[in-house]
A = this chain, B = another copy of it.
Amino acid sequence: MNYRIKTGIIGATGMVGQTFIKLLENHPWFEVTYLAASEASAGKTYSQAVQGRWHMSSEIPSYAKNLVVEDAANVDKAVGKCSLIFSAVSLSKDEVRKMEALYASKGFAVVSANSAYRMDADVPMLIPEINHEHVNIIPVQQKNHGWDKGFITVKPNCSIQSYMIPLHALQVRGYKIKRIILTTLQALSGAGYPGPSAFDLVDNIVPLIKGEEEKSELEPQKIFGIIQNNQIVNDTSFSISAHCNRVPVIDGHTACVSVEFDGKKPTEAEIMDCWNNYHSVARDLGLPSAPERTIIYKEEIDRPQPRKDRDSGKGMTITVGRLRPCNVFDFRFVGLSHNTVRGAAGGAILMAELVVAKGFVK
């Protein structure tokens, strides 16, 4: 591309919004030209708007500091300023649906970090390496909603990437997943800010993340689904049981996974081969955020570990380890992904790159 696509971020002042701001610095395809948040921030520069609540460990990128924040509800302010919108608004489900539809109706390509549209049969929920073909539902969605060039795509829940990509590596080689029982040890940043109290996470863990288990069990079925009769049909041939825990880790969700296969079962060596030679469509398409290695298997017996492995591939690589036979199912392993990069803003940017590469952003 010989120009960069003008891009907006709505909900730019929250934790996910800030991560977008950070990750889009010097992005080769996207130029941030529009920022919006709640009415309270409208009219302020971005620096003023996040004064005292900038949570990234690096400084506010200079490109963003003096951008004036608009009221996200005032969609007309975006018109002419950009064609792609990242949505990180923090609203009720109904309000998110209304606001994202509003932007789509005005012609924007909306790439959402929110869950509001995840289960709509005409909205692609994308992990580009796995279900890039789901973008083909976009014309159906546009027709259903009466939208001209605008549309909505959503990223899935942040806790599933650590095992979905490793499992996909097996699926594409013909090893069919039947049942999965897994436990996650999830990072604090996944809860937004302020999130859990330090009083609850020092010398303690919390064995509940509200709503997380349900999403973790349902969303993978859509991601592994196929388009049929103008809708994305979930793959219900496998089932997942997820136990989700909050642990005192800043970034990086870990999953302990037991897998049972249906039919042909791979050997340990075959699984290693699937992971070590995973073919990334996102790399084929030249998506800038696709990591050089999508999956890295750590040979050390005590890895992956969140602090030590989360930044692999700039936070976009999935790290796995501890592959071994399961005493009950077939195999077990530990997966790790960076929840605010691969699992949130970084994953959404990769999705945006996909829809651009596929020609949907006009």
Which A residues are within 8 Å of any B CB, using their own CB?
51-52, 55, 57-59, 179-181, 183, 185, 188-189, 193-208, 210, 217, 239-243, 245, 247-250, 254, 256, 258, 300-312, 321-322, 326-329, 332, 334
Contact = CB atoms under 8 A, between A and B. Distances in A.
Q: Which of A188, A247, A312 gathers most chain B CB within 10 Å?
A: A247
Contact of A207 (B179, B196, B304): B304
Contact of A326 (B183, B207, B241): B241
A310 B321 CA distance: 30
Nearest to A216: B327
Nearest to A249: B203
A196 B185 CA distance: 18
Nearest to A301: B208
A58 B206 CA distance: 17
Given A258-B243, A327-B241, A248 B207 contact: no
Of A196, A203, A307, A310, which is in contact with the most chain B CB atoms at under 10 Å from its CB?
A203
Given A207-B304, A254-B207, A197 B199 contact: no
A25 to B, nearest CB: 15
Given A185-B247, A205-B249, A207-B256, 6 more contacts: A196-B197, A202-B249, A202-B250, A204-B308, A239-B328, A241-B328
B57 A311 contact: yes
A203 B307 contact: yes
Contacts of A322: 207-208
The 8 closest A-B pairs by CB, nearest first: A183-B183, A194-B197, A243-B256, A241-B328, A198-B201, A203-B203, A241-B327, A208-B302
Contact of A256 (B201, B239, B245, B247): B245
A309 B57 CA distance: 7
Contacts of A327: 217, 239-242
Given A185-B205, A256-B207, A247 B250 contact: no
A49 to B, nearest CB: 15
A248 B203 contact: yes
Contact of A312 (B59, B197, B303, B308): B59
Given A198-B197, A245-B256, A301-B208, A203 B240 contact: no
B202 A248 contact: yes
Given A185-B185, A241-B329, A203 B205 contact: no
A131 to B, nearest CB: 21
Given A304-B207, A306-B204, A328 B197 contact: no
Contacts of A185: 185, 205, 245, 247
B308 A57 contact: yes
Given A193-B199, A197-B195, A239-B328, A207 B307 contact: no
